[in-house]
Structure 1
Amino acid sequence: MNVVETAIPGVLIVEPDVFDDGRGSFMETFQAVRYAAIGVVAPFVQDNFSRSLQGVLRGLHFQSPKLQGKLVTVLSGRVLDVAVDIRVGSPTFGQHRWNDPALDIHWGCDAPKLSARDADGRTLAELEAWLPRYLPA
């Protein structure tokens, strides 16, 4: 597997090895020992599947106070998956609400399809009191 570090510590792009043969293809999307070897020890407690039409924006999600790891797998097509560091005090705080001017994320579509909940989401500044605090290692 190929691992790409991002500007936000702890956020990785993991490109799994894909094995093709006459029957089709196979890839491991998660394997605990291999992920631990690259520093990913977050327990994955939930597995979801969604299918989105072009232009759909599913929103930025976080869990507080109990953080959880996220593993995003794209089966077909393309996805723009955005990670934002919301740990107050972190050197990368605020780096990459769907249209929050403080985040200035360019989504690549003029009229995204949003759920009512995501369209009415709060800005980063409005959420700051509930966000986790950065604890340097």
Structure 2
Amino acid sequence: MRLVDTSIADIKIIEPEVFGDDRGFFYESWNEARFAELGLELKFVQDNHSRSAKGVLRGLHYQIQKPQGKLVRVVAGSIYDVVIDLRKSSPTFGKWEGFTLSEENRNLLWVPPGFAHGFLSLEDRTEVLYRCTDFYAPEHERSLLWNDAELGIDWPLDGEPLLSDKDAAAVAFAQAETFI
């Protein structure tokens, strides 16, 4: 397992060691001791699984109280995953970074608390699994507008994404509640 730094401090890509042959492959997607050796001492309380059609955009979500850290991976298809730093005390406050996660590259993405997170499904029947460090608390959930001009996220889109009503009604970054 290898930990890869990104341009935003605390966001990490985890490249698992994959063992493959003509039968298929095997890898550990979570091992508490191995992650701790990499400096990621994490406790998860909830696992989530979503399936999306091509063009579905989920997010950009965060919980203003009871913030969740997320360990994200794709088991079928591919996504363009985006994180935005919402920590006012951070030198990268308001910055975003995007990553392609897929069943082919098998990379995992660590998104700590204090970030908005969302993804665009790049293929039909894309399945995403993510482990969370806190429970879902809908009363504390917030959503940022996916196409906010101030953020300028460069989504790999042809046309408009498919959004939930909640995500279509998300707020602009300038009006968003943020973290200290």
TM-score by length of 1: 0.87
> Residue in 1 aligned with 2:154?
106
Matched residues, number: 131
Deviation at 1:56, TM superposition (A): 0.8
2:164 to 115, 119, 123: 115
Q: In structure 2, list runs of 5 or more residues that go unmatched.
A: 97-144
Identity %: 48
Contact 1:16–1:29 at 8 Å: present in 2 too?
yes
- 2:4 aligned counterpart, secondary structure: strand
Contact 2:3–2:15 at 8 Å: present in 1 too?
yes
Deviation at 1:70, TM superposition (A): 0.4
Distance in 2, matches of 1:65 and 1:40, equals 22
Structure 1 runs of 4+ off > 4 angstroms? none
Distance in 2, matches of 1:118 and 1:42, equals 28
**Larger relative contact order (Cα-Cα within 8 Å, sequence gap ≥ 6):** 2
- 1:35 aligned counterpart, secondary structure: helix
Distance in 2, matches of 1:14 and 1:3, equals 5
Q: What RMSD, in angstroms, separates the aligned Cα atoms of the two structures?
A: 1.5
> Residue in 1 aligned with 2:179?
132
Counterpart mapping for 1:1-137 below 5 A: 1-96=1-96, 97-109=145-157, 110-128=159-177, 131-133=178-180
Distance in 2, matches of 1:38 and 1:80, equals 25
Task: From the two aligned structures, give the one with the greater strand fraction.
Answer: 2
Q: Who wins on radius of gyration, i.e. which is larger?
A: 1
For structure 1, which segment, 54-63 or 21-30, has the greater mean C-alpha deviation from structure 2 after superposition?
Answer: 21-30
TM-score by length of 2: 0.68
Corresponding letter in the other structure for 1:132: F
